[in-house]
Amino acid sequence: MSARRGWLLAAMLALLAGGFCRPAAAQTSELVARLSTERVAITTAFVGESILVFGSTEQPLGPGGDEVVVMARGPSAPFVVRRKVRVIGLWLNGPSARFAAVPSFYAIAGTRPPWQLLPEEARHQRGIGIDSIPLEFTGARAPGFRRALVELKRNSNLWQEDPSPIEIAGSRLFNFRLHLPSTVQPGTYNVEVMLVRARRVVATEQLGFVVERTGSAAEIEKVARGQPVIYALLCILAAAFAGWAGSVVFRRG
Protein backbone atom coordinates (compact mmCIF):
# COMPACT_ATOMS: atom_id res chain seq x y z
CA MET A 1 0.00 0.00 0.00
CA SER A 2 2.72 2.45 0.97
CA ALA A 3 4.60 1.66 -2.23
CA ARG A 4 1.47 2.46 -4.20
CA ARG A 5 1.02 5.74 -2.32
CA GLY A 6 4.64 6.64 -2.95
CA TRP A 7 4.26 5.97 -6.65
CA LEU A 8 1.09 7.98 -6.75
CA LEU A 9 2.76 10.93 -5.06
CA ALA A 10 5.71 10.74 -7.45
CA ALA A 11 3.36 10.70 -10.43
CA MET A 12 1.50 13.72 -9.13
CA LEU A 13 4.66 15.64 -8.40
CA ALA A 14 5.92 14.93 -11.90
CA LEU A 15 2.61 16.17 -13.29
CA LEU A 16 2.76 19.33 -11.21
CA ALA A 17 6.38 19.98 -12.15
CA GLY A 18 5.38 19.55 -15.77
CA GLY A 19 2.61 22.09 -15.24
CA PHE A 20 4.95 24.68 -13.74
CA CYS A 21 7.57 24.30 -16.43
CA ARG A 22 5.09 24.90 -19.24
CA PRO A 23 5.03 28.22 -21.11
CA ALA A 24 2.71 30.91 -19.84
CA ALA A 25 -0.15 30.12 -22.21
CA ALA A 26 -0.56 26.56 -20.94
CA GLN A 27 -0.53 27.65 -17.31
CA THR A 28 -4.06 28.93 -17.61
CA SER A 29 -5.39 25.37 -18.20
CA GLU A 30 -7.98 24.77 -15.53
CA LEU A 31 -7.70 21.01 -15.50
CA VAL A 32 -4.94 18.51 -16.16
CA ALA A 33 -5.59 14.77 -15.92
CA ARG A 34 -3.75 11.59 -16.80
CA LEU A 35 -4.18 7.81 -16.55
CA SER A 36 -1.66 5.50 -14.89
CA THR A 37 -1.70 3.29 -17.98
CA GLU A 38 -3.03 3.43 -21.51
CA ARG A 39 -2.96 -0.27 -22.18
CA VAL A 40 -4.57 -3.15 -20.29
CA ALA A 41 -3.50 -6.63 -21.35
CA ILE A 42 -5.85 -9.59 -21.02
CA THR A 43 -3.54 -12.55 -20.52
CA THR A 44 -4.46 -16.09 -19.46
CA ALA A 45 -3.80 -14.94 -15.89
CA PHE A 46 -6.06 -11.85 -16.18
CA VAL A 47 -8.18 -11.25 -13.06
CA GLY A 48 -9.09 -7.62 -13.69
CA GLU A 49 -7.11 -4.45 -13.42
CA SER A 50 -7.30 -1.08 -11.73
CA ILE A 51 -6.34 2.13 -13.45
CA LEU A 52 -5.50 5.34 -11.66
CA VAL A 53 -7.11 8.54 -12.96
CA PHE A 54 -5.25 11.49 -11.48
CA GLY A 55 -4.69 15.16 -12.10
CA SER A 56 -4.75 18.68 -10.79
CA THR A 57 -6.89 21.78 -11.07
CA GLU A 58 -6.04 25.45 -10.98
CA GLN A 59 -8.70 26.43 -8.44
CA PRO A 60 -9.02 24.66 -5.08
CA LEU A 61 -11.21 21.55 -5.02
CA GLY A 62 -13.77 20.56 -2.45
CA PRO A 63 -16.79 22.06 -0.69
CA GLY A 64 -17.40 25.58 -1.90
CA GLY A 65 -14.83 25.25 -4.66
CA ASP A 66 -14.51 23.28 -7.89
CA GLU A 67 -15.56 19.67 -8.27
CA VAL A 68 -14.35 16.89 -10.58
CA VAL A 69 -16.38 14.17 -12.32
CA VAL A 70 -14.80 11.14 -14.01
CA MET A 71 -16.77 9.12 -16.57
CA ALA A 72 -15.39 5.98 -18.25
CA ARG A 73 -17.04 4.06 -21.10
CA GLY A 74 -16.12 0.82 -22.83
CA PRO A 75 -16.90 -0.28 -26.38
CA SER A 76 -20.60 -0.77 -27.20
CA ALA A 77 -22.21 -4.00 -28.39
CA PRO A 78 -25.76 -5.17 -29.09
CA PHE A 79 -27.51 -7.16 -26.34
CA VAL A 80 -30.74 -9.08 -26.05
CA VAL A 81 -32.71 -9.13 -22.81
CA ARG A 82 -35.17 -12.00 -22.47
CA ARG A 83 -37.94 -12.56 -20.01
CA LYS A 84 -38.78 -16.04 -18.83
CA VAL A 85 -42.40 -17.15 -19.13
CA ARG A 86 -44.15 -20.27 -17.98
CA VAL A 87 -45.09 -22.62 -20.82
CA ILE A 88 -46.93 -25.79 -19.76
CA GLY A 89 -45.16 -25.72 -16.41
CA LEU A 90 -41.66 -25.08 -17.78
CA TRP A 91 -39.86 -21.75 -17.55
CA LEU A 92 -38.72 -20.81 -21.06
CA ASN A 93 -37.40 -17.60 -22.58
CA GLY A 94 -40.34 -15.53 -23.82
CA PRO A 95 -40.50 -11.92 -25.04
CA SER A 96 -37.24 -10.16 -25.71
CA ALA A 97 -35.90 -6.67 -26.25
CA ARG A 98 -32.88 -5.93 -28.41
CA PHE A 99 -30.60 -3.11 -27.32
CA ALA A 100 -28.57 -1.94 -30.32
CA ALA A 101 -25.65 -0.30 -28.51
CA VAL A 102 -24.94 -1.10 -24.89
CA PRO A 103 -21.69 0.18 -23.40
CA SER A 104 -19.86 -2.93 -22.22
CA PHE A 105 -18.33 -0.89 -19.41
CA TYR A 106 -19.44 2.29 -17.66
CA ALA A 107 -18.18 4.01 -14.54
CA ILE A 108 -19.05 7.37 -13.07
CA ALA A 109 -17.55 9.04 -10.01
CA GLY A 110 -17.17 12.53 -8.63
CA THR A 111 -15.66 14.41 -5.75
CA ARG A 112 -19.33 14.43 -4.72
CA PRO A 113 -22.11 12.30 -6.26
CA PRO A 114 -22.62 13.75 -9.79
CA TRP A 115 -26.38 14.18 -9.31
CA GLN A 116 -25.58 16.72 -6.59
CA LEU A 117 -23.15 18.58 -8.82
CA LEU A 118 -25.04 19.08 -12.07
CA PRO A 119 -28.62 19.92 -13.03
CA GLU A 120 -30.67 16.99 -14.35
CA GLU A 121 -30.75 18.31 -17.89
CA ALA A 122 -26.99 18.75 -18.20
CA ARG A 123 -26.46 15.34 -16.63
CA HIS A 124 -28.73 13.57 -19.13
CA GLN A 125 -27.26 15.49 -22.03
CA ARG A 126 -23.75 14.34 -21.19
CA GLY A 127 -24.81 10.81 -20.24
CA ILE A 128 -23.63 11.23 -16.66
CA GLY A 129 -25.10 8.57 -14.38
CA ILE A 130 -26.40 5.11 -15.22
CA ASP A 131 -29.96 6.45 -15.65
CA SER A 132 -28.63 8.76 -18.39
CA ILE A 133 -26.98 6.10 -20.54
CA PRO A 134 -28.80 6.25 -23.88
CA LEU A 135 -30.29 2.78 -24.51
CA GLU A 136 -32.35 2.47 -27.66
CA PHE A 137 -34.16 -0.82 -27.93
CA THR A 138 -36.58 -2.68 -30.16
CA GLY A 139 -38.93 -5.51 -29.30
CA ALA A 140 -40.82 -5.86 -26.03
CA ARG A 141 -41.73 -2.43 -24.64
CA ALA A 142 -42.13 -3.15 -20.93
CA PRO A 143 -39.82 -1.06 -18.70
CA GLY A 144 -38.60 -4.20 -16.92
CA PHE A 145 -36.21 -5.04 -19.75
CA ARG A 146 -34.10 -1.93 -19.36
CA ARG A 147 -34.11 -2.33 -15.58
CA ALA A 148 -32.99 -5.95 -15.92
CA LEU A 149 -30.11 -4.96 -18.20
CA VAL A 150 -28.98 -2.24 -15.79
CA GLU A 151 -29.25 -4.60 -12.83
CA LEU A 152 -27.21 -7.31 -14.52
CA LYS A 153 -24.51 -4.87 -15.61
CA ARG A 154 -24.32 -3.40 -12.11
CA ASN A 155 -24.22 -6.79 -10.42
CA SER A 156 -21.38 -7.94 -12.65
CA ASN A 157 -19.53 -4.72 -11.77
CA LEU A 158 -19.39 -3.69 -15.43
CA TRP A 159 -21.46 -0.60 -14.73
CA GLN A 160 -20.37 1.32 -11.67
CA GLU A 161 -21.98 4.39 -10.15
CA ASP A 162 -20.05 6.16 -7.41
CA PRO A 163 -17.99 3.10 -6.46
CA SER A 164 -15.97 5.47 -4.23
CA PRO A 165 -15.65 9.26 -4.31
CA ILE A 166 -12.73 10.88 -6.08
CA GLU A 167 -10.08 11.57 -3.48
CA ILE A 168 -8.77 15.09 -3.05
CA ALA A 169 -5.22 15.63 -1.86
CA GLY A 170 -3.85 19.04 -0.95
CA SER A 171 -6.94 20.85 -2.30
CA ARG A 172 -5.77 20.86 -5.95
CA LEU A 173 -4.83 17.24 -6.62
CA PHE A 174 -7.36 14.51 -7.23
CA ASN A 175 -7.16 10.80 -7.88
CA PHE A 176 -9.61 8.01 -8.56
CA ARG A 177 -9.03 4.30 -8.93
CA LEU A 178 -11.00 2.79 -11.80
CA HIS A 179 -11.59 -0.94 -11.28
CA LEU A 180 -12.00 -3.15 -14.35
CA PRO A 181 -13.45 -6.61 -13.57
CA SER A 182 -12.10 -9.75 -15.29
CA THR A 183 -15.04 -9.79 -17.69
CA VAL A 184 -14.16 -6.50 -19.45
CA GLN A 185 -14.36 -6.62 -23.23
CA PRO A 186 -11.38 -5.76 -25.37
CA GLY A 187 -11.58 -2.44 -27.21
CA THR A 188 -11.07 1.27 -26.82
CA TYR A 189 -12.18 2.88 -23.57
CA ASN A 190 -12.85 6.60 -23.17
CA VAL A 191 -12.29 8.41 -19.91
CA GLU A 192 -13.74 11.91 -19.65
CA VAL A 193 -12.60 14.08 -16.76
CA MET A 194 -14.86 17.10 -16.18
CA LEU A 195 -14.31 20.16 -14.05
CA VAL A 196 -17.55 21.45 -12.52
CA ARG A 197 -17.93 24.97 -11.23
CA ALA A 198 -21.24 26.51 -10.13
CA ARG A 199 -23.23 23.54 -11.53
CA ARG A 200 -21.66 23.86 -14.96
CA VAL A 201 -18.97 21.86 -16.71
CA VAL A 202 -16.25 24.44 -17.39
CA ALA A 203 -13.43 22.21 -18.65
CA THR A 204 -13.06 18.63 -19.81
CA GLU A 205 -10.15 16.39 -20.60
CA GLN A 206 -10.56 13.39 -22.90
CA LEU A 207 -8.38 10.42 -22.02
CA GLY A 208 -8.47 6.85 -23.16
CA PHE A 209 -6.97 3.42 -22.84
CA VAL A 210 -7.06 0.22 -24.83
CA VAL A 211 -7.97 -3.21 -23.46
CA GLU A 212 -6.51 -5.96 -25.60
CA ARG A 213 -5.90 -9.65 -25.44
CA THR A 214 -2.25 -10.64 -25.45
CA GLY A 215 -0.26 -13.83 -25.11
CA SER A 216 -1.78 -17.24 -25.61
CA ALA A 217 -5.36 -16.12 -24.82
CA ALA A 218 -5.15 -13.61 -27.68
CA GLU A 219 -3.59 -16.13 -30.05
CA ILE A 220 -6.23 -18.76 -29.31
CA GLU A 221 -9.07 -16.29 -29.74
CA LYS A 222 -7.56 -14.94 -32.96
CA VAL A 223 -7.17 -18.38 -34.51
CA ALA A 224 -10.64 -19.46 -33.35
CA ARG A 225 -12.24 -16.42 -34.96
CA GLY A 226 -10.00 -15.99 -38.00
CA GLN A 227 -9.35 -19.59 -39.04
CA PRO A 228 -12.13 -21.65 -37.46
CA VAL A 229 -11.36 -24.73 -39.58
CA ILE A 230 -7.73 -24.85 -38.45
CA TYR A 231 -8.79 -24.13 -34.87
CA ALA A 232 -11.38 -26.93 -34.97
CA LEU A 233 -8.82 -29.43 -36.26
CA LEU A 234 -6.31 -28.30 -33.62
CA CYS A 235 -8.92 -28.78 -30.87
CA ILE A 236 -9.63 -32.32 -32.08
CA LEU A 237 -5.93 -33.21 -32.25
CA ALA A 238 -5.09 -31.53 -28.92
CA ALA A 239 -7.91 -33.30 -27.07
CA ALA A 240 -7.06 -36.67 -28.63
CA PHE A 241 -3.37 -36.28 -27.85
CA ALA A 242 -4.02 -35.05 -24.28
CA GLY A 243 -6.37 -37.97 -23.64
CA TRP A 244 -3.88 -40.49 -24.97
CA ALA A 245 -0.84 -38.94 -23.22
CA GLY A 246 -2.76 -38.60 -19.95
CA SER A 247 -3.77 -42.25 -19.95
CA VAL A 248 -0.13 -43.26 -20.49
CA VAL A 249 1.09 -41.01 -17.66
CA PHE A 250 -1.61 -41.93 -15.15
CA ARG A 251 -1.87 -45.63 -16.04
CA ARG A 252 -1.96 -47.71 -12.91
CA GLY A 253 -0.24 -51.04 -12.71
Partner 1 sequence: MVAVLQIYLPIAEMSVDALLLVGVGFGVGWLSGLFGVGGGFLLTPLLILLGIPSTVAVASGANQTLGASVSGLLAQARRGNVDWQMGGVLVAGGLFGSVAGVQLFAMLRRLGQVDAAVAIFYVVVLGSVGALMVMESVRAIFRRRRHGAAHRLHNHSWAHGLPFKVRFRKSRLYISVIPPLAVGFLIGVLSAVMGVGGGFMLVPAMIYILGMPTAVVIGTSLFQVVCVTASVTFLQAIQVGGVDIVLTLLLLLGGVAGAQFGAAMGGKLRGEETRALLGALVLAVAASLLWDLLRVPAALFSVGPAF
Cβ-based nearer residue to partner 1, 1 or 45: 45
Contact 106, 160 (CB under 8 A): yes
Distance CA 82, CA 97 (A): 7
Chain residues 54-113 in contact with partner 1, contact rule CB under 8 A? 77-84, 89-93, 96, 98-99
Beta strands in 124-166 (DSSP E): 137-139, 159-161
Contact 208, 37 (CB under 8 A): no
Cβ-based nearer residue to partner 1, 29 or 96: 96
Cβ 223 to partner 1 shortest distance, Å = 9
Query: Is 41 a residue that touches partner 1 (CB under 8 A)?
Result: no
Cβ 147 to partner 1 shortest distance, Å = 8
Q: Which stretch binds partner 1 (CB under 8 A): 9-17, 26-34, 117-125, 178-186?
A: 178-186
- Among residues 13, 152, 202, 210, the one that binds partner 1 under rule CB under 8 A: 152
Distance CA 174, CA 201 (A): 17
Dihedral sign from CA coordinates of 42, 43, 46, 51: negative
Residue 26 CB contacts under 8 Å (≥ 6 apart), including other chains: 19
Which residues would be at the binding site for partner 1 (CB under 8 A)?
Answer: 42-48, 77-84, 89-93, 96, 98-99, 144-145, 148-149, 151-153, 182-183, 185, 213, 216-218, 220-221, 224-225, 228-229, 231-236, 238-240, 242-244, 246-253
